[in-house]
Structure 1
Amino acid sequence: MTGDPFANTLERTFARLRDQDLWRRRERRSSPQAPSVQMEGETLLSFSSNDYLGLASDPRLVEAWCQGARRYGVGAGASHLLGGHTKAHHELEEALAAFVGTPRALIFSTGYMANLALLAVLCPRHGRVFEDRRNHASLIDAAGLAQADRHRYRDVAGLRRALTKAGSGGIVVSDGVFSMDGDMADVPALLTLAQTHGAGLLLDDAHAFGVVGPQGRGTPAAHGLGHDPALVHMGTLGKAFGVFGAFVAASAEVVEALIQGARPYIYTTALPPALAVCAMASLAIAIAEEYRRAELYERIREFRAGATQLGLRILPSSTPIQPVILGDAGRALDASARLRAQGLYVPAVRPPTVPAHTARLRVTLSAAHTRDHIERLLAALATLPRDTA
């Protein structure tokens, strides 16, 4: 027999996605990340980036990357345990640990890999994992790959019931800032419940680091919490820090356990050392330039005030993630297309990324946005048909 053995099955899947307005497509950007971008030949005002502090194309970071490349070359050339771990990597880990206030930190290539590593090491097979239903896909996949005994909860009360029913031990897993809704987890309550029931807390703070808390130190710092050995942080460098990569900040024992036994850490090439040099420069800027967070939160305030005045259905988020709920996937696509026709890039987010009937425009704001940008966005949103907005 000849031909493509996958074609029939895949075509049926493709047809279903198109029929349900769930087909995804990539668009080619030909400019640096900034409020104004070149997308498929158009100049668009973008509200789609996680570059919350406006650092992704900062000239100082470009120069730091070049300096790092001149010193270390382009690639690390090996895994961390086989000669790929450089002084630049080590200095970045020490700086990140100091920033978060933990004994140690460990760099990963992506947040996805970090979460896979953490649950593989901290949750023995059939160990208990208590996971928020809105967690990022990497946390959900990590629990599945760890073959965990999974308990899902919707809120703090639901977690309390799940922990009480399951007995002592396990690990509570949550986003710090939920990536699609933008609200923050009640970290003190989660940590207290976990400790009361002999469990740990794994917090994916990818959308919080650099933005939330004093100097952007994350959601625990926003609540006045210091280091606790029961709490494990994961953060990324490709969002507010504008670079790439991820890190785990935790006790010395947890970090050493990852080095010794985490397959996503052991069996992959280290990040380019030049990137570590660049991330060090970004961290210093993010700490020193407090005005960036002040500008960002002013843009958040302006958008929320205007969206409320327009009667848009927005969620109770105080972070740069500001979803406008539309419900139907087709309506979300139509709204996104109408905004694009006015020169704005605001992608629609649809199931399965978000629950059914909650398709939305996911507006993300940056310190690089201006008041005029927000006014332009609100003016465009005001033109959407009532049955769309």
Structure 2
Amino acid sequence: MTDLYDLHARLVARLDTTEAIRAAFADHPRHRYVPDLIWPDANGLPLRRTADPERWVSCVYAFAPVTTQANDGGSGPVNTPSSSSSHPQVMADMIRAARVGPGDRVLEIGTGTGWNAAILSSLVGPTGSVTSVEIDPDVAAHARGRLDATGVRVVHDAETPEGGYDALIATCAVSRVPEEWIESVPVGAPIVVPWAPSSEHESTPVAALRVRDDGSACGAFVRDAVFMHDRTQRVSESPFPGIGAEPEYQRCLPATSDALIDDRLLTRLMLMLPGVRPGVGARPFEGDIGRIVHLGTADASWAYVWPDGTVTGGGERDLFGELAAAYDALTEAGRPPLEAFSLEVDPKNGVRRVRAPDLGVWEHR
């Protein structure tokens, strides 16, 4: 019989983090929080624990995210993940970036399974508090049941206590950091949030922002990640770029699609290309199926980077030229890591600005 607590101990041992965070994870075995119904393949069929207990356990204790809801709890022709138990290492990195410690009052946006909130409760201890906001009533009800003994409050809307929260951690991605989030923490306090220019972007790197006295917030990106987007900021998904369009040009990039993907350059290029949605797809290529990098814009301009470095595309914007310029600049600067990029947001003035030393400043409108 599988020893769930042994599996959890092995998961905790794999974390690259502080001893305090590792101990907090150890307090809360993951299987106590993940619901019985999960989606092993995020876009595939669900799995109920009673139907295949061993497979359920193997999914829960994989060092990976677990999809725990699809289609906002409804049904559809394709299962689109809408809630999950995040990757353990991503959770640990975000908690570390928030510098959560004993006595802190923490606001979490996106309760999900409740596992992250439970870990936070161990870190803040009896003199601190964790308030977690969950928009989905079914997800919230499940989490409340699992968090009963932790003291975590799961709410639909959070009131800001006097003096504000000491830290805010969002477990959903946003394109616009809400003004009320910034107002809920004092100057200098951290807001750790996955961010992307729009909900159509696949990559959602995590930024560790600090609130400034003018009501803005800024800080460096701390890691790459892929989070589900805040439901209140979703936009209708655009069609896959270039479908049915004849290429208007064919050029060559000094990098293949596989290199852009495997060298983890797409997130940095996304930050350097305002108004462009990069993504990864598959297309027939030389008698097989090849990975491509696709780029799209709101005005239907498009480009594909193919496995041999060929770029085809069309539309009003010269996406090849923009991509090539960004790639060359990144390469000439020695390919600085994601952590060299920072995000500045000012909700009152609509500012969403990305900076990277020796590379540039990009305004995301």
Normalised by the size of structure 1, how large is the TM-score? 0.29
> Where is the helix percentage greater, Structure 1 or Structure 2?
1
Normalised by the size of structure 2, how large is the TM-score? 0.30
